[in-house]
Amino acid sequence: MLQLDPPLIRIVIGGPGWSGPTGKGVANLLEPGHRDEDILWIIDLDENGQTWCVPNRYVRAPSNITWGRKAETCQHGSGARVNGDAISPRNGRSELS
């Protein structure tokens, strides 16, 4: 387990195989080398305060113009945009799950 200091803002985008919520949150911990050789982000979600362990493939960094990371459209079933703030489907879950 690796504690992130400072914590990092991350966006859970969901996708195929993900049954958890999507949205913006703060990552405080990382668990490297999980059984599937995937990093797990431990993220506290802003919307409901829940803590989730999210595989790296479902996590994105928010836009940051200082570092040249501009807003982009993310394709994940609902046509929602991820541009600094996560926009999820009405039910709060990815439609591909």
In tens, the pLDDT along 8-62 reads: 999 999 999 899 999 999 999 998 876 666 889 999 999 999 999 999 899 998 8
Number of domains in the chain: 1
- Do 10 and 64 form a contact (C-beta atoms < 8 A)? no
pLDDT at residue 37, as a whole number: 67
Indicate whether 32 belongs to any domain: yes
The type of residue at 41 is W
- Do 55 and 35 form a contact (C-beta atoms < 8 A)? no
Indicate whether 41 belongs to any domain: yes
- Cα gap 40→56, rounded to integer Å: 6
Indicate whether 88 belongs to any domain: no
pLDDT at residue 92, as a whole number: 44
Indicate whether 91 belongs to any domain: no
What is the gyration radius of the CA atoms in the chain, in angstroms?
A: 13
Domain extent for 35: 2-82
State whether residue 51 is helix, strand or coil.
Answer: strand
Regarding pTM above 0.75, the answer is: no
Side-chain-side CA neighbours of residue 35 (13 Å): 0
Q: How confident is the model at residue 66 (pLDDT cuts 50, 70, 90)?
A: confident
Indicate whether 93 belongs to any domain: no
